[in-house]
Amino acid sequence: MTQPSRISAGLYLHIPFCVSRCLYCDFLSTTLGSEMQSRYFSVLRREILHAASLGFGKKYRILSVFFGGGTPSLPDAMLIADILDTIRSCFELAPDAEITLECNPGTLNDEKLHMYRKAGINRLSIGLQSADNKLLKSLGRIHDFETFRREYTAARDAGFQNISVDLMYDLPGQSRVQFRDTLRQVLSLPDPPQHLSAYSLIIEPGTPFWERYHEDAERKALGDCPLFLPSEDEEAGMLSDLKSILSGTSFHRYEISNWTLNGFESVHNKGYWERRPYLGFGLGASSQADHMRWKNTSDLNEYLSCSFARKESTHLSRSNEMEETMFLGLREMKGVTRQHFQEQFGVSMDEVYGRVLSNLTELHLLSDDGSAVRLTDRGISISNVVLAEFLLD
Ligand code: SF4
């Protein structure tokens, strides 16, 4: 009897430890030290074994593993290596599986980097954010640009050939000149990264930045000139600088906030945009599979008591999945093909979204070549508004 073929999926591991809290950050992370970190990893290991006991290991073939945080490069590298061993014992990993570790400068060293390589990690995503030391300090980052440069070089020396660098723009007090300088510094590294992510700052409730800047962010949203944040024009200027500087390189934009050299697109993130199933392990981690989305507890003590019960479990209706196919798929520059939509849902894209497609195309927010629809530059600049049009009743 032939075995049913396994379904391609990604794994996400949340590592919620940081040296200190950045002033803008609302991610789930704590500054608890090595004793708590060891305890956490032993529960993480048990959670993966628990998932395997429920049959997930036999069902999925893993194309990507992503250690996110938090700062996954903070805890002992052996803890990460042990988790990868556990994953391998429970899941079939594709031979060329992308295995990414998110890192922050100030937490890497030669020994760790070699251990990561030995454990099979083949991609690093390094949070630089800015090359301007004053801005880094104002964000509450623990590192300066020199630390980043030293550890980046060490990562190359350790053999990492696939490195992504994260940048931020629209920061309080940031000028276009500073942002352009950051880009140039990154691109002129001796062996520049293969992948860049650039996100504009979002002022999140509950953070020190919220206290300082939310009124300013509101002013800006209402069309008034902000006092601390870059103005709308400056923000648009930074994005346009990003596009024009990268257009003179071999990078291409493949998603609203992501640029890459050919062949270095993030397999894991593409999985999210293309709605591949994923299983999340660790504090507050989300999973999506079998028309369901669920979340782990965000309470550290509850998680440490090995409570792996699903929280916020939601059934995804066919309409939900159509909406997500459109608004996640349109984040990618290749857009969404009519064929893909038809194969997924057995109904044509035009039957479901005909009027939305023609309205957005008429407004030059969407381009439509008959086989695929994509956001135009104008559509990207107001993508939140455009993508919301794909919500069904
Ligand atoms: S390093 Fe990342 S996760 Fe940790 S506090 Fe800073 S932004 Fe948040």
One domain, residues 253 and 348: no
With respect to residue 305, please indicate whether it lies within any of the assigned structural domains.
no
Residue 319 CA from chain centroid, whole number? 25
One domain, residues 352 and 255: no
Which among 208, 243, 273 is the end of a domain?
A: 273
**Predicted pLDDT at 107:** 98
> How sure is the predictor about 311, in pLDDT bands with cuts at 50, 70 and 90?
confident
Tens digit of pLDDT for each residue in 241-279? 999 999 989 999 999 999 999 999 999 999 999 999 999
Mean pLDDT of the 48-63 span: 94
Which among 205, 240, 273 is the end of a domain?
A: 273
DSSP H stretches of helix in the chain:
34-53, 56-59, 77-90, 110-119, 133-139, 145-157, 176-187, 208-221, 232-247, 267-273, 300-304, 318-329, 338-345, 349-362, 377-381, 383-388
**Predicted pLDDT at 308:** 86
One domain, residues 334 and 240: no
CATH of the domain at 367: 1.10.10.920
One domain, residues 181 and 327: no
| 183 CA from centroid of ligand 1 (Å) | 21
Per-residue pLDDT for 3 more than 90? no
Per-residue pLDDT for 310 more than 90? no
* Cα separation, 62 vs 278, whole angstroms: 9
With respect to residue 136, please indicate whether it lies within any of the assigned structural domains.
yes
Per-residue pLDDT for 2 more than 80? no
Angle at 184 between CA 180 and CA 187, to 5 degrees: 140
Closest atom of ligand 1 relative to the 20 alpha carbon: 5
Q: How many domains does the chain have?
A: 2
| Residue 135 CB contacts under 8 Å (≥ 6 apart), including other chains | 129, 171, 173, 174, 178
| 140 CA from centroid of ligand 1 (Å) | 9
Tens digit of pLDDT for each residue in 197-256? 999 999 999 999 999 999 999 999 898 899 999 999 999 999 999 999 999 899 999 999
* Cα separation, 388 vs 383, whole angstroms: 8
With respect to residue 299, please indicate whether it lies within any of the assigned structural domains.
no
Residue among 15, 20, 22 to mutate when testing ligand 1 (max atoms within 8 A of CB)? 22
| 30 CA from centroid of ligand 1 (Å) | 9
Tens digit of pLDDT for each residue in 83-110? 999 999 999 999 999 999 999 999 999 9
Which among 273, 292, 327 is the end of a domain?
A: 273
**Predicted pLDDT at 312:** 85
Whole-number average pLDDT of the chain: 96
One domain, residues 239 and 344: no
One domain, residues 268 and 332: no
With respect to residue 324, please indicate whether it lies within any of the assigned structural domains.
yes
Mean pLDDT of the 281-296 span: 96
| 19 CA from centroid of ligand 1 (Å) | 9
Q: Is 18 in the pocket of ligand 1 (CB under 6 A)?
A: yes
Q: Is 22 in the pocket of ligand 1 (CB under 6 A)?
A: yes
One domain, residues 240 and 99: yes
One domain, residues 15 and 74: yes
> How sure is the predictor about 1, in pLDDT bands with cuts at 50, 70 and 90?
low
CATH of the domain at 221: 3.80.30.20
Contact at 8 Å (CB) between 158 and 117? yes
Residue among 14, 21, 31, 199 to mutate when testing ligand 1 (max atoms within 8 A of CB)? 21
Q: Is 74 in the pocket of ligand 1 (CB under 6 A)?
A: no
With respect to residue 384, please indicate whether it lies within any of the assigned structural domains.
yes
One domain, residues 48 and 196: yes
Written as one string, the DSSP assignment of 59-70 is HEEEEEEEEEES
Tens digit of pLDDT for each residue in 336-360? 999 999 999 999 999 999 999 999 9
One domain, residues 140 and 25: yes
Contact at 8 Å (CB) between 14 and 284? yes
Q: How far is CA 149 from CA 19, 72, 114, 121, 135, in A?
A: 19, 19, 17, 20, 16
One domain, residues 194 and 322: no
With respect to residue 287, please indicate whether it lies within any of the assigned structural domains.
no
One domain, residues 386 and 255: no
- What letter represents residue 230's amino acid? P
Give the whole-number percent of the chain exceeding pLDDT 70.
99
Beta bridge partners of 332: 255
Look up the domain containing 253 and give its range. Answer: 7-273
Q: How far is CA 68 from CA 84, 101, 104, 184, 221, in A?
A: 14, 7, 11, 27, 31
| 38 CA from centroid of ligand 1 (Å) | 20
